[in-house]
Amino acid sequence: MSNFRVDPYLWIHLSGLAVLPLWLALCLFGLAIGYPIWPMGVEIAIIAMIGILPILGMQWFQPFYIFSILIVTIKPEQLTPIQRRILTRFKTSQNQKLALIAPLLLIPILWQLYRLAPLAADVVSLPWHGRLVGLLIASIAFLGCNLFLQVPISVIGVLLTRKPEWVGAEPLTSQQIRQGFTHIGLRVNRILPESLLPETPENFPSSLDSSDPSET
């Protein structure tokens, strides 16, 4: 069995769960601004659509490219065979199903935040306050909530890969990676030191479509 689970990029993006409470707090802040201008269900639906659909669509069709940190991303041709296999696991129907978990978890939380918002209204005192501004802040924050829950959930799905599934995973080519994933940031050859990686790019075979038999 490959040591793919020690890849630091998996754990970096799994740790994104730690900032989820901050996005939820910002969402509550936005909901506390101004007075409702539409019925509760309408405002929640607006925030939910803006916050859920873009991230759900990304994870369903072009999953987030995890070999990136902040505004920099590793060029696909610099990935190791193990990392290319990891990306193969992100493109499974299982991960598409896992993408539905975040909305199912967050919509009830959004509903509760909306109900709690009047309690926070006294704390929010801004000269430029207005309901539309509040809804915009809440929508952006809810988008952040979905991003920082969707990506870790997909990482957990990859970490739970069983040996037969891993053995049967073919490394993706650079072209497949460019077309099949959402890349955000400046492309570079390396981000983390080689000592932190389970395999170095120099060990990558000359053919991008072949897999290294030693990985299994």
CA 194 – CA 131 distance, rounded (Å): 49
Q: What is the DSSP-derived secondary structure letter of residue 197?
A: S
The distance from CA 64 to its chain's CA centroid, rounded to whole angstroms, is 6
CA 30 – CA 147 distance, rounded (Å): 18
CA 31 – CA 26 distance, rounded (Å): 9
Residue ranges of alpha helices (H) inside 99-201 are 101-120, 131-159, 163-167, 174-180
From first to last of its 216 residues, the chain has per-residue pLDDT tens of 458 999 999 999 999 999 999 999 999 999 999 889 999 999 999 999 999 999 999 999 999 999 999 899 999 999 999 999 999 999 999 999 999 999 999 999 999 999 999 888 877 666 556 899 999 999 999 999 999 999 999 999 999 999 999 999 999 999 999 999 999 999 999 998 866 666 544 444 434 444 443 343
